[in-house]
Amino acid sequence: MSTYIQNLHHIVFATKNRIPCLQKNNRSVLFKYMYGVLKNKKCHVYRINGVEDHLHILTHIHQTIPLSSVIREIKLASHALIKRESLFPEFKGWQEGYAAFSCHEEHKERLIYYIKNQEIHHQRISWEEELISLLEEHGVEYDEKYL
């Protein structure tokens, strides 16, 4: 029998201390680079987008690669790019943790739309409200002091 796996993940992480330093004019460079990192890890990227202090990634993760390794690689490689190219002068690094949610294929289009429209979404809701909503929607227990 062959191996059949669907590992669709919605990944969210923020800048260190949620510093709003990811200026819009250079975000596309960052997102394209992250796309390349994921592609090199045999991941299929559906959407990457974000705002000044955090970003969202919707990707299929190859079954041979642990989620934590993928996220560590994205953070390390993108941090190096940001520093090397001076993309975001106020950038101090990425937050230590992340949120990642496994997603059903039937929700993929809705998530792509949601991630694509982050700027509009964050005119109505804060980062913390968004994160709490996602954690609660997925039944993840959390401690508010770590948000």
When pLDDT is cut at 50, 70 and 90, the band that residue 2 belongs to is confident
Say if CB 65 and CB 87 are below 8 A apart. no
Domain ranges of the chain: 8-146
Closest CA to 54 of 97, 94, 109: 94
Fold of domain 8-146: Alpha-Beta Plaits (3.30.70)
Strand intervals (E) in the chain: 8-14, 44-50, 54-60, 99-102
pLDDT grade for 135, boundaries at 50, 70 and 90: confident
pLDDT (mean) for 69-76: 97
Strand order in the sheet with 44-50: 44-50, 54-60, 8-14, 99-102
Write out pLDDT tens, residues 3-57.
Answer: 777 889 999 999 999 999 999 999 999 999 999 999 999 999 999 999 999 999 9
C-alpha–C-alpha distance, residues 121 and 56, integer Å: 12
Q: Does residue 147 register a pLDDT over 80?
A: no
Distance CA(82)–CA(138), nearest Å, equals 32
